[in-house]
A and B are shown apart, each in its own frame.
Chain A
Amino acid sequence: MLSPTVKTLGAALIGTTALVAPALAQAREVTLNVQMEQYRGPAAYFAIYLTDPAGNYASTLWLAGTKSKYQRHLRGWARAISSAGGRVDGISGASVGSGRQLSVSLNISDALIDAGYTIHVDTAVEDHRDARDAIVAPLSSAIAGQPQTGNGHMRALTVNM
């Protein structure tokens, strides 16, 4: 389910992130395809975010789940944005239930791809585990189209670019 509003939010991301290239012409449209696990319980919160080659927080690509009292369970992400002194920028949507799929499109600067940046996924479900770094993968063209798996409530994240 590709949402057109998501694209405009992606464009906003470029404006707010210091690490992006100056011109949109040098940005690439990237699609994040999320497949959730089958589990019993309420919808999952998750954060997909980037760290730079030094391991410092760079930016949030997508945040699923809008209530901040539950967002703190995304502990790696929460810690990362705290240390960056940042608050959540507007790139968020509803929490995602068991077995559901989500597709998000956004523009990412060419300068970030194949440049040592890492994609992190934290997931959390009420009364289940808080999974930090449930999925970790390099932001490289090599993983394009390859499902990345991990140990949280997200079965796979596929990055198309």
Chain B
Amino acid sequence: MLRRLHSLPGLAAALFVILMSVTGAVLSLDPLIAQIGTPPSDAAITTGDLAADVVRNLPGVERITRSASGAITAYAETDTGDVAGYAIDPATGTVIGEATASPVMEFFKQLHRSMFLGTGGRALAGIAAAAMVILALSGVYLLVRRLGGWRKVFAPAQGTLSQRLHVEGARIAVAGLLLSAMTGFYMALVTFGLVPDGSDTWLAFPDTVDGGQPAAIDSLTALQSVPLSQMRELVFPFAGDTEDVFTLITANGQGFVDQATGQWLVFEPNSLAQSFYQAIYTLHTGQGMAWLGLVLGLLALVTPLLAVTGTLIWYRRQRATPRIKANTPPARADMVILVGSEGNSTWGFAAELHARLTATGIKVHTASMNAVRQHYPNARLMFALTSTYGDGAAPHSANRFLARLADMEKSPVPAFCVLGFGDQSFPRYCAFAEAIDQALAQKGSVRFQPLGRIDRQSAQAFADWGRQLGDRLRLPLTLDHVPPRPRSRRLVLAERLDYGHEVQAPTTVLRFASSRGRLPRAMPGDLLAILPPGSVVPRYYSVASSSRREGVIEICVRKQRGGLCSEFLHALEPGETVEAFVKPNPAFRPAKGKKPIILVGAGAGIAPLMGFVRGNPVGRAAHLYWGGRDPQSDFLYRDELAQSLEEGRLTRLGAAFSRVVGGGYVQDELRRDADRLRRLIADGAQILVCGGRDMGEGVRAAFDEVLEPLALSTSALRAEGRYLEDVY
């Protein structure tokens, strides 16, 4: 609920809030500019002294004002009968020049106040300020809750780059933004007369005026009693009208002064509302407090960052959390389903479980694992449905779950049940689900049902698990979920190049074009998901080409014995088609910049590395280490690599072949070249590894040996984003 309160006004008001903040930041310079442009004044000077000086220098003067920055402006009649403002030196009362408002500042002031939309624009500005107040307060609450209490509020931010920037930016700016927004909202309320600013009090013209000969201005005691620093505005009597009076507004109030006797005819001190309004005005504009203006202005510039990162976070969360029908709020739920998912497929299973439990009358709350709460007051049972990412790691929507659980004193619910999703061909099948199962048990929660495992999204296994669960719950539970087939495109095989037949490692380079319409966008390192006929589960292959640059999507496929998809692809003839879609893989791409890259692969794992070489600008060092079996048979891309070396896209090629006399594996080549690698890594090189799982482990071990003298390790480099792996 509170998150909604944070995101809905945020999205609606994002553009307005950005506009208000940027214009406000520009205007924040105004007090400083005014202060710099204003000559210093003598503390001993009184309003009467200055008025007398101004009258001498500017005989037609009608009105003198003093701004919060100390700038004095006198208004006097011009030859054309109009009135012009003149800047006055407060020390001498002499005219410095015409008082001109900066057209730039005037433009921004109008934009900030009303967006040139009149009253409606002023209302919008007020609404934007209110939205900002709500955002700041709800944001602080969310931040405190997320970091686990007020004491941890300055703990390092975690999550995606957007999330970290959002949290860091908010921590720096929230106090200032809250001040600007609350004062701005108050001023909007004043503009619309919804709260009083005390300006409605009508100062009645005095009943009796002396009416005698006007005295010399510097002899008027009331004007002498007000130091210039206290003056706001002095209005002169109409010339020749002895019945008229001086109107004097000071920092403390306003009144009329008799031009003959020099006495106050009436003086009304500021009401509480007026004093309050002035204080708020100073806080909002920084007028007279230039440093405050600058601080608030700088902090306001954080708003666009918050708006953009906030929108990104919201958008990603919307996309990542499929809609669950009849989702009960956590406080009222009987059962809780938490989902750990990387690519969203686990959500489909969770939605089915949610729907079937709800149909039996149970109130169910479903959320991502990262959204786990400390306590669900009514919940008896918690489900954790989670996949495993990579080598036993948490999937995206569960990557903070274990840390949050560790911070809790006890398990949020008395009983739990974990269901893992994965692919049995991976060595660490369902490893993260196992870790969750252990962690919940350690927190004292009762294991309601032993850990279940679903291999390759098997609808049958899910239904079986549901039957067991139903028996235990004494509920008829029929879970029927067939994962939807991803939206795929039809691609046509344009060309194929075969290698490795002679060394029992048939590997083929396949180039696909679009059979109709535009080719889906793919970059080297992305994954091409191919759906073999009759299967709903796609197989992923690393892309070697840029669909834009080369106009084809190129992959490299090693034929696996009994492999459904690889055999299908190896039998494919040019002109035949496949169902496929592209899965972007931005986590496996060379970093931007000029630092060297070290590419390591074996066999068909060369595909993305070849793509990186093709896109590598001449001048950026790129070292490729690759392992094959026999240079006569499976030397993939041999000619193109030679050409890349010649062109300078590739700096050096270290190829190792295991089936030749004196040959070896790619990790042997790495050890042999340790000195060069250490130099490159000391220069900030990034390492990208692609190949089979065994090779991945061997390469990691080799690099750890190479790195030891540098007091570095692959895990240290991985944490910096300098050791990337795409292993399968």
Contact = CB atoms under 8 A, between A and B. Distances in A.
Contacts of B200: 68-69
B291 interface: no
Given A83-B205, A83-B207, A128 B82 contact: yes
B62 A87 contact: no
Contact of B199 (A67, A79, A128, A151): A67
B244 to A, nearest CB: 8
Contact of B75 (A82, A83, A129, A151): A129
A78 B244 CA distance: 12
Contacts of B204: 82
Nearest to A129: B83
B83 A128 contact: yes
A79 B82 contact: no
Contacts of B83: 128-129
Contacts of A79: 205, 244
A72 B62 contact: no
Contacts of B238: 75, 132
Contacts of A132: 238
A68 B193 CA distance: 12
Contacts of A75: 235, 238, 244
Nearest to B77: A129
Contacts of A130: 62-63, 235
A28 B207 CA distance: 34
| B-side interface size class | 10 to 19
Interface in A133-161: 151
Contacts of B77: 129
A87 to B, nearest CB: 7
Contacts of B63: 130
Contacts of B62: 129-130
Contacts of A83: 205, 207
Nearest to A128: B83
A68 B199 contact: yes
A95 to B, nearest CB: 12
A87 B399 CA distance: 70
A82 B199 contact: no
A132 to B, nearest CB: 6
Contacts of B709: none
A83 to B, nearest CB: 6
Chain B at the A interface: mostly helix, strand, loop or mixed? Answer: loop
Contacts of B202: 68, 72, 87
Interface residues of A, number: 16
Chain A at the B interface: mostly helix, strand, loop or mixed? Answer: mixed
Contacts of A68: 199-200, 202
Contacts of B149: none
Interface in B590-646: none
Nearest to B238: A132
Interface string A87-130: 10000000000000000000000000000000000000001111
Interface string B179-223: 000000000000000000001101111010000000000000000
Contacts of B203: 72
Interface string B59-101: 0001100000000000101000111010000000000000000
A127 B83 CA distance: 9
Nearest to B73: A127
Given A129-B75, A129-B77, A82 B205 contact: yes
Contacts of B244: 75, 79
A86 B82 CA distance: 31
A129 B82 contact: yes
A132 B63 CA distance: 14
Interface in B248-292: none
A127 B238 CA distance: 17
Contacts of A69: 199-200
Given A68-B200, A129-B62, A151 B235 contact: no
Nearest to B101: A127
B211 to A, nearest CB: 13
Contacts of A87: 202
A129 B204 CA distance: 21
Given A68-B199, A129-B62, A130-B62, A78 B205 contact: yes
Interface string A35-77: 0000000000000000000000000000000011100100100
Nearest to B202: A68
A127 B101 CA distance: 11
Contacts of B85: 127
Nearest to A131: B83
B109 to A, nearest CB: 12
Nearest to A37: B82
Contacts of B82: 128-129
Q: Which 8 A-B pairs have the closest CB atoms?
A: A129-B83, A82-B205, A69-B199, A79-B205, A82-B204, A68-B200, A151-B81, A128-B83
Given A75-B238, A151-B81, 16 more contacts: A68-B199, A68-B202, A69-B200, A72-B202, A75-B244, A79-B244, A82-B204, A82-B205, A87-B202, A127-B75, A127-B85, A128-B82, A128-B83, A130-B62, A130-B235, A132-B238
Interface of B: 62-63, 75, 77, 81-83, 85, 199-200, 202-205, 207, 235, 238, 244
12 contacts: A67-B199, A68-B199, A68-B202, A72-B202, A72-B203, A78-B205, A83-B205, A87-B202, A128-B83, A129-B62, A129-B77, A132-B238
